């Protein structure tokens, strides 16, 4: 590296400080310059939030790294870096495990990082994060001029300081809460993660509506993360310090829904041995999250509508009304407009709930977010199972990106958990990087249904005969009805035994029979 190229790069970084750009772009340009100027295979910038380091951007590390988090207590190299105000270098024979083992992009994925160097970044005399450089070749850092590297580190801190100032001004103007502060301690599976245009558009919507008092209806396929969106909205709202109360409308027995929502007095019904506040009262001053709102029975909907309109609830068995101040967030995987048109959902309640509708994109529309999420779940399972180093092989990355994910993020989470468990049981090797390949993923045959399904009434497979064009919803209902009917016959029309065989909650199963218009008594009579 010549003095001229060093000076030229530093001038470029300094000029970036005055330009308008996103924090991601600013940090990426900084790391790109470092990667070019200093001999290393990888460079990364991580921000410290609580006791957890979060990668913000990286060069030379596998893509899924940005979806991971690193507990400082579990990584002694990071801990040592954060405890020093000077450059910290780890020799090739250091016994401390390297957190990037197996994550540096290289043809030989089993290579360990041999040279590691890092420095703690301080902003206003407080530790902000770390900057790390890694190399697979021992001794490669011997040629680095410490003065030049320190000069670049000072530029990195200046870039972070400028970014932080811009962000703080934006927060002040928008009067938004700092969501990251509330979510940083939750390093398991509860973060909204992604960089795709679809998820960024969702973040923009959430930032816009979070600070308001508008009711929000979150729609999306099963497993897309609607509950996480609700938590995000609550955490960024003016009610963040008040409770977020969760109600799963699909899991409540029909005869207990009113008591669960509005509460009851002692003796209001058989088994009511004491007075009990409902979910509305518990959420007073905060947010009430009504999950699976599309499953709410039709007779219950006018009572919920009145509570929303009047801001007051009446406990079962009481003549008194309780004033409540709650913000409503509802979620559904159904098309409520279609439910209204079909007479299964009240139009007035739908309009009361959907003041601000939010659509959560399915995973198949989120592109390479799949790898970030996979990295996040890999790290979670690595920590839970006590594994040292874990990475996605290229075959696994390709397979994950090519699959259509009918079960969305939840399916990805479960698939990664199963794969890591298999890998840990069959290939645990002390001191080796465990590489998760496509074979361990065991992805199912991709049978994702198109938006509409052709169903032939002809018994043959030649395509002749009449065809009926079904919506995905209608095709699913037909399949469910046929399966339930078959199992009911096998179980002698015993509803409880059928629900158990199908793995369905008995209360939900009763509602499902009603929705699919399956007459069990009529089936018994017909034999």
At 27-46, the pLDDT tens digits run 888 888 887 788 888 889 99
Q: Given phi > 0 = left and psi -120 to 50 = alpha, else beta, which region is 252?
A: beta
What's the half-sphere exposure (Cβ side, CA atoms, 13 Å) at 360?
27
Confidence category of residue 187, pLDDT binned at 50, 70, 90: very low
Q: Are 322 and 315 in contact (CB under 8 A)?
A: yes
What is the tens place of the pLDDT at every residue in 476-488?
778 888 888 888 8
Burial (CB count <10 Å: 0-12, 13-18, 19+), residue 413:
buried
Lowest mean pLDDT among 470-474, 483-487, 500-504: 470-474
CB atoms within 10 A of CB 430: 5
Confidence category of residue 183, pLDDT binned at 50, 70, 90: very low
Q: ∠ CA 297-302-307 to the nearest 5 degrees?
A: 115
Closest CA to 77 of 86, 88, 67: 88
Q: Are 121 and 129 in contact (CB under 8 A)?
A: yes
What's the half-sphere exposure (Cβ side, CA atoms, 13 Å) at 445?
1
User: What pLDDT score was predicted for residue 302?
Assistant: 92
Contacts of 57 (CB under 8 A, 6+ apart): 24, 27, 28, 31, 44, 45, 66
Sign of the dihedral through C-alpha 28, 30, 31, 35: positive
Q: Assign 3-state DSSP to the chain and report helix, strand, coil percentages, each to 5.
A: 45, 15, 35
Helices (H), 274-353: 279-282, 301-310, 336-341, 347-353
User: What pLDDT score was predicted for residue 371?
Assistant: 94
Q: Which of 35-49, 361-375, 481-495 has the highest mean pLDDT?
A: 361-375
Q: Are 434 and 102 in contact (CB under 8 A)?
A: yes
Q: What CA–CA distance (Å, rounded) separates 284 from 239?
A: 10
Report, as an integer, the average pLDDT of 433-444.
Answer: 86
H/E element, 497? helix 495-502
Q: What CA–CA distance (Å, rounded) separates 67 from 194?
A: 8
Which letter, b or e, does each residue of 91-105 get, where b requires 16 or more Cβ atoms within 10 Å of its Cβ? eeebeebbbbbbbbb
More confident residue, 158 or 308: 308
pLDDT averaged over the chain? 81
User: What pLDDT score was predicted for residue 229?
Assistant: 96
More confident residue, 145 or 460: 145
- Three-state DSSP at 109 gives coil
Residue 108 has pLDDT above 50, yes or no: yes
Report, as an integer, the average pLDDT of 42-55.
Answer: 91
Residue 434 has pLDDT above 50, yes or no: yes
User: What pLDDT score was predicted for residue 490?
Assistant: 84
Cα 149 to the center of its chain, rounded Å: 37
pTM value? 0.68
Lowest mean pLDDT among 79-88, 133-142, 406-415: 133-142
Report, as an integer, the average pLDDT of 398-407.
Answer: 92
Paired tokens of 94? 């250091």
Q: Which of 46-50, 84-88, 95-99, 212-216 has the highest mean pLDDT?
A: 212-216
Closest CA to 123 of 78, 92, 93, 153: 153
Residue 353 has pLDDT above 80, yes or no: yes
Lowest mean pLDDT among 11-20, 212-221, 317-326, 377-386: 11-20
Percent of the chain predicted with pLDDT > 70: 82
Q: What CA–CA distance (Å, rounded) separates 223 from 75?
A: 32
What is the tens place of the pLDDT at every residue in 114-147?
788 889 988 888 888 999 988 888 888 888 888 8
Q: What CA–CA distance (Å, rounded) separates 82 from 88?
A: 9
Confidence category of residue 94, pLDDT binned at 50, 70, 90: confident
Q: Given phi > 0 = left and psi -120 to 50 = alpha, else beta, which region is 276?
A: beta
Q: ∠ CA 178-181-187 to the nearest 5 degrees?
A: 135
Residue 214 has pLDDT above 60, yes or no: yes
Residue 14 has pLDDT above 60, yes or no: no
- Three-state DSSP at 218 gives strand
Residue matched to tokens 């690595």: 382
Residue matched to tokens 């509950």: 227
- Three-state DSSP at 81 gives helix
Confidence category of residue 351, pLDDT binned at 50, 70, 90: very high
Report, as an integer, the average pLDDT of 194-198.
Answer: 92
Residue 5 has pLDDT above 90, yes or no: no
User: What pLDDT score was predicted for residue 192?
Assistant: 86
User: What pLDDT score was predicted for residue 18?
Assistant: 47
User: What pLDDT score was predicted for residue 246?
Assistant: 93
DSSP secondary structure, 475-489, as one string: HHHHHHHHHHHHHHH
CB atoms within 10 A of CB 214: 14
Q: What CA–CA distance (Å, rounded) separates 389 from 400?
A: 20
More confident residue, 146 or 412: 412
Lowest mean pLDDT among 178-187, 266-275, 384-393, 453-462: 178-187
More confident residue, 229 or 260: 229
Report, as an integer, the average pLDDT of 354-367.
Answer: 95
Q: Which of 55-64, 120-129, 397-406 has the highest mean pLDDT?
A: 397-406
Closest CA to 55 of 33, 75, 36, 38: 75
């Amino acid at each position: 590296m010549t003095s001229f190229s060093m000076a030229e790069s530093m001038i470029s970084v300094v000029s970036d400080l005055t330009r308008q750009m996103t924090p991601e772009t600013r940090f990426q340009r900084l790391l790109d310059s470092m990667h070019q100027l200093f001999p290393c295979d990888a460079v990364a910038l991580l921000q410290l939030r609580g006791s957890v380091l979060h990668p913000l951007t990286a060069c030379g590390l596998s893509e899924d790294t940005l979806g991971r988090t690193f507990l400082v207590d579990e990584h002694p190299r990071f801990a040592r870096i954060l405890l020093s105000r000077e450059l910290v270098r780890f020799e090739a024979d250091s016994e401390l495990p390297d957190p990037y083992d197996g994550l540096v992009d290289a043809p030989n994925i089993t290579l360990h990082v041999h040279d590691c160097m890092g420095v703690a970044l301080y902003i206003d005399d407080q530790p902000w994060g770390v900057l790390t450089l890694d190399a697979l070749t021992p001794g490669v850092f011997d040629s680095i001029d410490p003065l030049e590297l320190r000069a670049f580190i000072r530029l990195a801190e200046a870039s972070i300081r400028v970014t932080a100032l811009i962000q703080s001004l934006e927060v002040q103007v928008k009067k938004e809460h700092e969501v990251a502060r509330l979510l940083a301690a939750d390093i398991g599976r509860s973060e909204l993660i992604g960089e795709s245009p679809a998820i960024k558009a969702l973040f923009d919507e959430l930032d816009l509506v979070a600070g308001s008092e508008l009711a929000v209806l979150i729609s999306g396929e099963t497993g897309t993360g609607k509950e996480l969106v609700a938590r995000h909205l609550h955490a960024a709202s003016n009610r963040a310090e008040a409770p977020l109360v969760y109600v799963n409308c699909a899991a409540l027995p029909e005869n207990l829904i009113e008591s669960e929502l509005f509460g009851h007095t002692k003796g209001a019904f058989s088994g009511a041995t004491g007075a009990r506040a409902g979910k509305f009262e518990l959420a007073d001053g905060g947010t009430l999250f009504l999950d699976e709102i599309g499953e709410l029975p039709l007779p219950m909907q006018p009572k919920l509508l009145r509570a929303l309109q009047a801001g007051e609830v009446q406990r079962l068995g009481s003549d008194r009304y309780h004033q409540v101040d709650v913000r409503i967030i509802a979620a559904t995987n159904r098309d409520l407009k279609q439910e209204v048109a079909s007479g299964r959902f009240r139009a007035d309640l739908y309009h009361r709930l959907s003041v601000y509708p939010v659509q959560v994109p399915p995973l198949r529309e989120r592109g390479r977010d799949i790898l970030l999420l996979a990295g996040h779940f890999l790290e979670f399972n690595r920590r839970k199972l006590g594994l040292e180093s874990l990475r996605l092989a290229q075959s696994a990355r390709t397979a994950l990106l090519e699959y259509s994910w009918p079960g969305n993020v939840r399916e990805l989470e479960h698939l990664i958990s199963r794969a890591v468990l298999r890998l840990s049981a069959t290939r645990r090797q002390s001191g080796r990087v465990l590489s998760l390949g496509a074979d361990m993923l065991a992805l199912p045959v991709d049978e994702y249904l198109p938006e509409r399904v052709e169903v032939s009434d002809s018994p043959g497979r030649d395509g002749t005969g009449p065809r009926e064009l079904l919506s995905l919803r209608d095709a699913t209902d037909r399949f469910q009805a046929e399966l339930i009917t078959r199992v009911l016959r096998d179980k002698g029309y015993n509803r409880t035994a059928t629900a158990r065989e199908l793995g369905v909650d008995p209360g939900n199963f009763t509602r499902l029979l009603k929705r699919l218009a399956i007459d069990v008594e009529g089936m018994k009579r017909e034999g």
